[in-house]
């Protein structure tokens, strides 16, 4: 642990004991986050990205869960930290925005009260002053007539406005890190871009580092500087966003990039998909996690590749694949653009 | 709000008409229903019976008898067949005992249910939860007449810790009133507390997994604040509306067994003895009184519900 980063995650493992066996939701994840930067965590549902972000906040509270590894935030170890330590970090230092803003707000409290409640949890401040701060925050995130709307209940807001309330809440105590878990997935496409833009702007203005959990590569490109691609609880590729789009190294990333709908392709063509489905995290395969779905798998893939293969000249770029950089650059081109070739049916 | 009140008032009227007509008709068709026979006594001559029939109007068409009875009820002059005393004054006499029972017992079972529900939900399937689940099931399935009789036998008859039934008005002696009510309160609360603790437990366990509870934790609220302000607060709403209706049932004379076992002379006991005597006027009055009580308290519960949960609209 060098301690030079704002947040450092080292070999984080989260597993759940179930009746059928142990589910390894997060399986040895390491990364860092610097102050003020925007990091995207990309993956399909079930890739462990949400379990990971919940664990950073100490919010995974299944009694059957076990945690291993380290999470350092400003020099404080968060894994295994006391509830009172975590409480002073949650909301105040690390804030979180969830996917569905309807169910994330308590239906029986006025939204102003819900924002003020968070301020009052971390600052010695009068109820009245906290209420005024809540209105200021709501104005800042673009809610019109905030003073009046603060007295309304969550069900009286549209989805986009509710997510703005969540953003106002997240920024209420000037956090260092904002974790946004699929913040726009439940919203209309037109609102998505607005909300993302506003969120990014607020982060930049106040120097807040952003961890954006998403499955949408379009969002990654417009918001983040660096990205982690997760698959079956592991990071399979990490790079700056430019490197990831220009020179993706892992076959899974190719598949994700190839399955983004594009306007420059003929419409009649079927949208490419990745064959197979996400593996069960229950007793995962001992091989490379992606090998069963990978058309390029070969003998060596029976052994899990380390997240170490650096691409020459790309300092940040790492991935978990045994193929050589030259092979990858050749194999990833499908019909003239990046994609994953259709599975050939071979088993390695 | 005006619309709500008007609607509930009309609803109460409809309920009253149906309840009274239905009750009246039942006593026209059941065997041995002729009240003149009972009024005349065991050794009556046919002449006496005919005279009574004429005097009370039992020979008039059924609908005329119904309207006559309803008129007497609403002018407060209706008398019972069996003792020929004013029914409304009987009800007024019974109301304090019934109200004491309803208020005390409902508060007791609510607090008891909340406490046991909270204890159970702390560790679902833990030892406390299992013990309380067993207790609840036993409590729910114990008949009131068994629990009440055993308590009376052990705590009143054998040990004289409590009086052996009966009711003492609060105005006469507050301490005696309390002593006389303890066993009835406990007896009536026991099954309800068992039921409420299970309902509240499952509400709590459902609420704990709501996303807004996760948000509350992510905000950095203290554990106490998360549990009381978000989990308990939201879980209580359905319990309180259930509570209002159960309370209405008892105040309307529904606690017949408890009132009878402890000889409280409340409305429920009055209803039970009137039914035994096939005494139509008090039965009709009690049915209508109970219906009004349920409608009024139901309306109050709905208003409270709308205050507690802003998503509920009264006019919807």
Structural domain for B61, as ranges? 2-75
The whole-number pLDDT of residue B214 equals 93
Answer yes or no: do B211 and A104 touch at CB < 8 A. yes
Answer yes or no: do B220 and A103 touch at CB < 8 A. no
Average pLDDT of span A50-64? 85
Answer yes or no: do A108 and B237 touch at CB < 8 A. yes
Answer yes or no: do B211 and A100 touch at CB < 8 A. yes
What is the domain count for chain B? 2
Cβ atoms of residues A339 and A254 within 8 Å: yes
Answer yes or no: is pLDDT of A182 > 70.
Answer: yes
Interface test with B, best of A53, A73, A86, A121 (most B CBs within 10 A): A121
Answer yes or no: do A90 and B233 touch at CB < 8 A. no
A108 CB within 8 Å of a chain B CB: yes
Q: What phi-psi label fits residue B116: left (phi over 0), alpha (psi between -120 and 50 degrees) or beta?
A: alpha
pTM of the model: 0.84
Confidence of residue A342 (pLDDT cuts 50, 70, 90): confident
- Cα–Cα distance measured from residue B216 to residue B210, given in angstroms and rounded to the nearest whole number: 10
Q: How many CA atoms lie within 13 A of A177 on its CB side?
A: 25
Answer yes or no: do A88 and B220 touch at CB < 8 A. yes
Answer yes or no: do A108 and B229 touch at CB < 8 A. no
Answer yes or no: is pLDDT of B253 > 50.
Answer: yes
Contacts of A107 in chain B (CB under 8 A): 212, 234, 309-311
The whole-number pLDDT of residue A348 equals 40
Q: What is the ipTM of this complex?
A: 0.87
Confidence of residue A269 (pLDDT cuts 50, 70, 90): low
Measure A279 CA to nearest chain B CA, in Å.
Answer: 26
Confidence of residue A346 (pLDDT cuts 50, 70, 90): very low
Answer yes or no: is pLDDT of B239 > 60.
Answer: yes
Question: Chains A, B: CB contacts under 8 A, how many?
Answer: 74
A104 CB within 8 Å of a chain B CB: yes
The whole-number pLDDT of residue B306 equals 86
Interface of B with A (CB under 8 A): 210-212, 214-223, 225, 229-230, 233-234, 237, 308-311
Same domain, B61 and B110: no
Domain ranges of chain A: 7-224, 248-338
Cβ atoms of residues A113 and A153 within 8 Å: no
Answer yes or no: is pLDDT of B43 > 50.
Answer: yes
Domain A7-224 = CATH 3.40.50.300: yes
Alpha-carbon distances of A278 from A18, A136, A257, A292, B74, rounded to whole Å: 19, 44, 16, 10, 74
- Cα–Cα distance measured from residue B53 to residue A188, given in angstroms and rounded to the nearest whole number: 78
User: Mind spelling out the 3-state secondary structure of A84-114?
Assistant: HHHHHHECCCEEEECCCHHHHCCCCCCHHHH
Measure A171 CA to nearest chain B CA, in Å.
Answer: 11
The whole-number pLDDT of residue B108 equals 97
- Cα–Cα distance measured from residue B144 to residue B166, given in angstroms and rounded to the nearest whole number: 17
CA neighbor of A145 nearest in space, from A161, A127, A130? A161
Same domain, B67 and B152: no
Residue B206 belongs to some domain of the structure: no
Least confident of A33-42, A101-110, B31-40, B203-212: B31-40
Q: Which two tokens stand for residue B112?
A: 């008891």
Q: Which two tokens stand for residue A283?
A: 């007793």
Answer yes or no: do A121 and B219 touch at CB < 8 A. yes
Answer yes or no: do B229 and A117 touch at CB < 8 A. yes
Of A95, A104, A173, the CB nearest to B212: A104
Higher pLDDT, B204 or B12: B204
Confidence of residue A343 (pLDDT cuts 50, 70, 90): low
Same domain, B96 and B187: yes
Residue B109 belongs to some domain of the structure: yes
The CATH number of the domain holding residue B176 is 1.10.3720.10
Contacts of A153 in chain B (CB under 8 A): 310-311
Q: Tokens 């081109």 — which residue?
A: A333
pLDDT digits (tens, 9 = 90+) for B80-132: 888 889 999 999 999 999 999 999 999 999 999 999 999 999 999 999 999 99
Answer yes or no: is pLDDT of A345 > 50.
Answer: no
Confidence of residue A265 (pLDDT cuts 50, 70, 90): low
Answer yes or no: do B309 and A107 touch at CB < 8 A. yes
Interface test with A, best of B219, B228, B307 (most A CBs within 10 A): B219
pLDDT digits (tens, 9 = 90+) for A162-176: 999 999 999 999 999
Measure A91 CA to nearest chain B CA, in Å.
Answer: 4
Confidence of residue A268 (pLDDT cuts 50, 70, 90): low
Of B210, B229, B234, the CB nearest to A103: B210
Residue B217 belongs to some domain of the structure: no
Q: Give the angle subtended at the CA of A169 by the CAs of A167 and A175, to the nearest 5°.
A: 90
Of A92, A108, A122, the CB nearest to B310: A108
Measure A200 CA to nearest chain B CA, in Å.
Answer: 20
Give me the helices (H) in chain A, please.
Answer: 49-56, 83-89, 101-104, 111-122, 127-140, 146-149, 159-171, 189-206, 217-223, 241-246, 251-258, 325-331
- Cα–Cα distance measured from residue A212 to residue A23, given in angstroms and rounded to the nearest whole number: 24
Residues 138-167 of A with CB under 8 A from B: 153, 155, 166
Contacts of B229 in chain A (CB under 8 A): 117
Contacts of A59 in chain B (CB under 8 A): 214, 217-218
Average pLDDT of span B218-237? 94
Contacts of A173 in chain B (CB under 8 A): 220
The whole-number pLDDT of residue A347 equals 42
pLDDT digits (tens, 9 = 90+) for B138-152: 999 999 999 999 999
Contacts of A98 in chain B (CB under 8 A): 211, 214-215, 218
Same domain, B176 and B120: yes
Which residue does chain B place closest to A152, by CA atoms? B310
Average pLDDT of span A343-348? 46
Which residue does chain A place closest to B310, by CA atoms? A108
């Amino acid at each position: 642990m060098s301690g030079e980063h704002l947040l450092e995650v080292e070999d984080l493992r989260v597993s759940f004991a179930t009746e059928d066996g142990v589910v390894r939701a997060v399986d040895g994840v390491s990364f860092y986050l610097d102050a003020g930067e925007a990091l995207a965590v990309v993956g399909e549902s079930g890739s462990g990205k949400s379990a990971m972000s919940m664990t950073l906040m100490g919010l995974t509270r299944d009694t059957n869960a076990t945690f291993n590894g380290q999470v350092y935030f400003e020099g404080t170890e968060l894994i295994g930290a006391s509830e009172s330590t975590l409480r002073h970090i949650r909301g105040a230092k690390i804030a979180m925005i969830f996917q569905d803003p309807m169910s994330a707000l308590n239906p029986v409290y006025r939204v102003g009260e819900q924002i003020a409640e968070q301020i009052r949890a971390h600052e010695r401040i009068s109820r009245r002053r906290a209420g005024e701060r809540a209105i200021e925050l709501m104005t800042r995130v673009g809610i019109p007539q905030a003073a009046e709307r603060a007295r309304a209940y969550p069900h009286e807001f549209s989805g986009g406005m509710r997510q703005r309330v969540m953003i106002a809440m997240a920024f209420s105590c000037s956090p260092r890190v904002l974790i946004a878990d699929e913040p726009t997935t439940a919203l209309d496409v037109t609102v998505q871009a607005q909300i993302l833009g506003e969120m990014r702007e607020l982060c930049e203005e106040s120097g807040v580092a952003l961890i954006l959990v998403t499955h949408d590569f379009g969002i990654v490109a417009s918001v983040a500087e660096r990205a982690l691609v997760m698959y079956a609880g592991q990071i399979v590729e990490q790079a700056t966003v430019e490197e990831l789009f220009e020179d993706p190294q892992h076959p899974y990333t190719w598949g994700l990039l190839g399955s983004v709908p594009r306007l420059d392709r003929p419409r009649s063509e079927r949208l490419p998909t990745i064959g197979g489905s996400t593996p069960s995290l229950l007793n995962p395969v001992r091989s490379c996690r992606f090998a069963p779905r990978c058309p390029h798998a070969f003998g060596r893939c029976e052994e899990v590749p380390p997240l170490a293969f650096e691409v020459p000249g790309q300092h940040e770029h790492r991935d978990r694949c045994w193929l050589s950089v030259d092979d990858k650059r050749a194999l990833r081109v499908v019909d003239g653009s990046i994609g994953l070739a259709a599975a050939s049916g071979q088993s390695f | 709000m005006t619309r709500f009140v008007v609607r509930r008032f009309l609803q109460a009227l409809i309920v009253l008409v149906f309840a009274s007509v239905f009750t009246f008709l039942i006593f026209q068709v059941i065997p041995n229903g002729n009240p003149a026979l009972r009024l005349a006594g065991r050794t009556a001559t046919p002449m006496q019976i005919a005279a009574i029939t004429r005097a009370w109007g039992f020979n008039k068409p059924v609908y005329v008898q119904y309207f006559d009875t309803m008129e007497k009820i609403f002018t407060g002059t209706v008398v019972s067949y069996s003792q020929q005393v004013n029914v409304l004054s009987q009800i007024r006499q019974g109301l304090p005992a019934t109200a004491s029972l309803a208020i005390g017992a409902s508060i007791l079972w609510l607090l008891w249910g909340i406490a046991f529900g909270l204890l159970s939900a702390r560790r679902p399937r833990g030892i406390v939860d299992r013990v309380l689940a067993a207790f609840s099931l036993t409590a729910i399935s114990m008949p009131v007449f068994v629990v009440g009789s055993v308590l009376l036998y052990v705590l009143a008859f054998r040990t004289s810790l409590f009086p052996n039934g009966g009711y003492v008005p609060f105005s006469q002696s507050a301490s005696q009133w309390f002593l006389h009510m303890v066993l009835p309160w406990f007896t009536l609360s026991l099954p309800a507390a068992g039921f409420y603790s299970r309902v509240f437990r499952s509400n709590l366990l459902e609420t704990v997994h709501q996303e807004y509870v996760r948000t509350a934790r992510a905000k950095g609220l203290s554990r106490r604040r998360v549990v009381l302000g978000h989990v308990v607060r939201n879980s209580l709403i359905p319990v309180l509306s259930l509570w209002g209706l159960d309370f209405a049932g008892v105040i309307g004379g529904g606690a017949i067994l408890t009132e009878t076992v402890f000889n409280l002379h409340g409305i429920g006991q009055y209803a039970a003895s009137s039914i035994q005597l096939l005494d139509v006027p008090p039965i009709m009055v009690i049915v209508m009184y109970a219906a009004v009580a349920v409608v009024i308290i139901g309306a109050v519960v709905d208003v409270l519900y709308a205050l507690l949960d802003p998503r509920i609209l009264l006019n919807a």
